[in-house]
Structure 1
Amino acid sequence: MTSGLTLTSVEAVPDGQVLYGRLLRRLIPFLLVCYVAAYLDRVNVGFAKLQMLNDLKFSETVYGLGAGVFFIGYALFEIPSNMIMVRTGPRVWIGRIMVTWGLVSAAMMFVTTPMSFYVLRFLLGVAEAGFIPAIVYYLTIWFPSSHRGKASAMFLAGIPLSGIIGGPVSGWIMTSFHTFHGLQGWQWMFLIEGLFATLLGVVCFFYLDNDVASAKWLTPAEKERITADIAAEARTKPLHSAREGLTSGRVWLLSGTYFFFTMGLYGISFWLPTIIRDSGVKDPLHVGLLTAIPYTGALIGMYLVGRSSDRMRERRWHLAVPALVGAIGLAVSVMVAQNTALALAALTVAAAGTLTCVPQFYTLAPSVLTGAAAAMGLALANSIGSIAGFISPYLLGWVKDATGSTGNGVLVLGATLLIGAALVFLNPARLVNR
């Protein structure tokens, strides 16, 4: 692909820090906005719940099942989606994913029965399947591991940013547009946020490049430097083929680790608005504004840990410690649940620890995977993590219906973070600390 490129002089070799800084500025802001839209469309049902359950007479269990069934469709189509992506190229497939999930998300405004709720949430999972592993795979095309931790953390900052931006915006839409033209606030929220994702999907087709060679905004010397760095790194990785990405015991271990981390992640994502409301805050706009506080703490934590992980070239402790912090934060939030200020402080600690686990996990898998193995292995890990996304909200909904409190369910989620932290150390340091 780049065999025809040659450097004509030593002076032509680009400075690595400058070059990869340029790549970060070109790719990450747009991908970050896309991920904010994706994650918001996935979890905005947590805000819709504040009005929707009363309007449609849904129980907490119905909500929990509907929130979780998204991940059944997501898990079933994750690997097929990435297999198609390898053939079509990331640009077309990422754009297709965003257009279809945006349209399905907007269609959530038409939910009237539990069955229509389940069906549309399932279809939303099918539409979005493959998005995160496609982006993480896309980053492996452009960034060697020495720069990928920062790139991954910046991209996955979309999770807390969707809370910082999306929480207040969702609360504002639900409050300001309530009964406008005969539609409820939650219906307007689904429509507006879904169409925004669709628009971004169209932009993908024109803005993204499939690979380094097709990037017209890079010089030949810059292309050669990136390609050489990626190729040199690939020779040190043990897994290369698509079959290895699906069958290796090392990949299954990584997938199991991710399962336990996502249990905590989605517990926070789907239930944070409810937990804040149950502490005494009733207005949807105020709930939305308060959810921005834990996500701001998470954004700071993700940046600092990602930067430290790249600088020290250490991955395991930078993943295990945030998981431990997240578990402690969840446990304390249960103990002080009736005090809004203390509960919010504890949830901020929990969010900072739990959400930091996600970008740090995505520095582990590419350390042992390359090429087709990376695409398939990341898809497998995300599929198994998606099962946790189904179990987590359903478990909390069932516990709340059965006991009147989410506390015991939140403690279970904290325990899953501790299990994930322990599994991290089954990955040899010599493979992942790069």
Structure 2
Amino acid sequence: MTSTAAQTNEVVLEQAYKKVTLHLLPFIFICYLFNYFDRVNVGFAKLQMLDDLHLSETVYGLGAGIFFVGYVLFGVPSNLMLRKVGARRWIAVLMMLWGSLSASLMLVKSPTSFYVLRFLTGVAEAGFFPGIVLYFTHWFPSARRGRIMALFMSAIPVSGLLGGPFSGWILDHFAQGQGGLAGWQWLYLLQGIPTVLLGVAVLFCLNDGIKQARWLDEREQTLLLAALAEDEQNKPKGAADSFASVLRNPAVWMLGMIYFCIQSGVYAINFWLPSIIKTLGFQNAQVIGWLSAIPYLIAGIFMVLVGRSADKHHERRWHVMVPMLMGMTGLIVAANFAHSPLIAMLGLTLATMGALTGLPMFWPLPAGYLSAAAAAGGLALINSLGQMAGFLSPYLVGWIKDATHSTDLALYILAGVMLLGVLLVSRIPAATVNR
């Protein structure tokens, strides 16, 4: 191929990636935004629900966390099903199902019904995130996934930025009860219904892969498929090539543990940030909502900047370790200065920036260990191992708060878990993941 032809192909390829990004990412971003609304709005519902239903902090922590039991158990089967029936249809089914279950939380009357609905919602959501991560591997090579994952997962801080004030407004506006429903019931209902509608829209907005995308011309499809094939050929020797080899690969289990460490900090923030802010002396639900938006706003900006840096420098390990160290430091600051609202908020902001940025920066790492054939099961297994933190972290915080009337000890423990994650990332060979 002449240099002119190669340059022309490069220009066409870049245009194709821009087209793919603009076609897929905004819609998937919105879907993930409501995924996170439905997952963590229980943190705001807690501000009223516990008193209305006479539930303890431990019951709340168990209910918040039991979601992830279902999530972990069904993560791998759900992702394998996605590969069998196609992303478009399976993601649509999952969204319609979990949106309905999330809205049904308005019907909770007892700890048992709370536990059952949270568990079933976790089952329904289990395949969405690992399915989307797998879906991106059908469109983007490893070298482009840092920025794509950062843009996609910036839905998490945006969900906090928008969801905090919105949830606070719902609780405040419906505080006296309207239509026979309490504020926390309206919260579940108004944030669950849009997910069902988005699930229907998935059937019309997503394609299963490059070959099914009629909005790409033949040349664009050819170049995109060639880039994926080259990326697959360049994987390090020894990458897992089947689900059986995934289970036998110690590196995959280590990656699951690293993701667990990151998620421990993330879920402590997601489920307890409103309550921690309340303990700083703020009582109004709307004020709590606006204050909880601040850490998420700053984290969203930081996440995108770090994602660009990781792809630009083709460096992965430090772009995970530095945010994790920031998250650890922020949790320690928040625990040490609980008596000072300003410093405690700065600590929570630093923790949110670090923990949330660690999430998208982690996901390019498994590409060095998994072939395309093993990606569906491998990514789901790593995600499921990490999501165990979603059960243990909220329950730990709730149990310690009931026992000590403070969240400080829990924040110290979670900071230590994040430090463990940093040490594990440092053991990954740079040559395996820096692409």
Give the TM-score normalised by the residue count of structure 2: 0.96
**1:130 alignment counterpart:** 127
Cα distance between partner residues in 2 of 1:165 and 1:232? 40
**1:3 alignment counterpart:** none
Preserved CA contact (<8 Å) 1:90 1:138: yes
Structure 1 stretch 368-377 or stretch 196-205: which is displaced more? 368-377
Cα distance between partner residues in 2 of 1:325 and 1:335? 15
Secondary structure of 1:314 counterpart: coil
**1:153 alignment counterpart:** 150
Q: Residue deviations 1:189-241, cap 9 Å, x none?
A: 10110111111111001100000000000011110111000000101222332
Q: Aligned Cα RMSD in Å?
A: 1.3
**2:349 alignment counterpart:** 348
Cα distance between partner residues in 1 of 2:8 and 2:264? 50
Q: State whether structure 2 residue 179 is matched by structure 1 residue 189.
A: no
Shift of 1:25: 1.2
Secondary structure of 1:187 counterpart: helix
Cα distance between partner residues in 1 of 2:148 and 2:97? 26
Cα distance between partner residues in 1 of 2:244 and 2:42? 36
Shift of 1:298: 1.0
Cα distance between partner residues in 2 of 1:27 and 1:80? 25
1:113–1:327 distance in 2 versus 1, CA, 3 Å: same
Q: State whether structure 2 residue 377 is matched by structure 1 residue 382.
A: no
**1:360 alignment counterpart:** 361
Cα distance between partner residues in 1 of 2:373 and 2:162? 35
Shift of 1:337: 1.2
Q: State whether structure 2 residue 403 is matched by structure 1 residue 402.
A: yes
**1:4 alignment counterpart:** none
Preserved CA contact (<8 Å) 1:13 1:222: no
Identity %: 48
Aligned residues: 427
Cα distance between partner residues in 2 of 1:247 and 1:157? 33
**1:111 alignment counterpart:** 108
Q: State whether structure 2 residue 48 is matched by structure 1 residue 47.
A: no
Structure 1 stretch 247-256 or stretch 117-126: which is displaced more? 247-256
**1:34 alignment counterpart:** 31
Cα distance between partner residues in 2 of 1:262 and 1:165? 21
Cα distance between partner residues in 1 of 2:281 and 2:362? 35
**2:66 alignment counterpart:** 69
**2:178 alignment counterpart:** 180
Preserved CA contact (<8 Å) 1:102 1:194: yes
Match of 2:360, as an amino acid? Answer: P
Match of 1:283, as an amino acid? Answer: N
**1:245 alignment counterpart:** 246
Taking the TM superposition and a 5 Å limit, the aligned residue runs for 1:145-294 are 145-178=142-175, 179-237=177-235, 238-294=239-295
Structure 1 stretch 234-243 or stretch 318-327: which is displaced more? 234-243
Shift of 1:12: 6.0
Cα distance between partner residues in 1 of 2:28 and 2:34? 10
Of the candidates 95, 99, 108, which is equivalent to residue 98 of structure 1?
Answer: 95
Cα distance between partner residues in 2 of 1:176 and 1:298? 28
Q: Residue deviations 1:71-117, cap 9 Å, x none?
A: 00000000110111110011111111111000000000000100000
Match of 2:369, as an amino acid? Answer: V
Secondary structure of 1:372 counterpart: helix
Secondary structure of 2:179 counterpart: helix
Secondary structure of 2:210 counterpart: coil
Preserved CA contact (<8 Å) 2:12 2:220: no
1:13–1:338 distance in 2 versus 1, CA, 3 Å: closer
Cα distance between partner residues in 2 of 1:349 and 1:382? 24
Match of 2:419, as an amino acid? Answer: L
Shift of 1:16: 3.2
Structure 1 stretch 42-51 or stretch 141-150: which is displaced more? 141-150
Q: Residue deviations 1:357-391, cap 9 Å, x none?
A: 10011111123323231111110011111211100
Preserved CA contact (<8 Å) 1:101 1:127: yes
Shift of 1:294: 0.5
Cα distance between partner residues in 2 of 1:142 and 1:17? 13
Preserved CA contact (<8 Å) 2:260 2:385: yes
Q: Which ranges of structure 2 fall in alignment gaps of 5 or more residues?
A: none
Match of 1:44, as an amino acid? Answer: N
Cα distance between partner residues in 2 of 1:197 and 1:341? 36
Shift of 1:242: 2.8
Cα distance between partner residues in 2 of 1:174 and 1:48? 8
**1:370 alignment counterpart:** 371
Shift of 1:351: 0.3
Shift of 1:9: 9.7
Cα distance between partner residues in 2 of 1:12 and 1:273? 51
Cα distance between partner residues in 2 of 1:235 and 1:349? 39
Structure 1 stretch 237-246 or stretch 104-113: which is displaced more? 237-246
Match of 1:162, as an amino acid? Answer: S
Cα distance between partner residues in 2 of 1:244 and 1:150? 29
Of the candidates 53, 57, 64, which is equivalent to residue 56 of structure 1?
Answer: 53
Match of 2:135, as an amino acid? Answer: Y
Match of 2:115, as an amino acid? Answer: Y
Cα distance between partner residues in 1 of 2:309 and 2:365? 15
Match of 1:235, as an amino acid? Answer: Q
Match of 1:60, as an amino acid? Answer: E
Q: State whether structure 2 residue 82 is matched by structure 1 residue 85.
A: yes
Secondary structure of 1:48 counterpart: helix
Structure 1 stretch 237-246 or stretch 98-107: which is displaced more? 237-246
Cα distance between partner residues in 2 of 1:90 and 1:291? 34
Preserved CA contact (<8 Å) 2:9 2:223: no
Preserved CA contact (<8 Å) 1:13 1:221: no
Match of 1:25, as an amino acid? Answer: L
Give the TM-score normalised by the residue count of structure 1: 0.96
Preserved CA contact (<8 Å) 2:16 2:216: no
Preserved CA contact (<8 Å) 1:102 1:195: yes
Preserved CA contact (<8 Å) 1:14 1:225: no
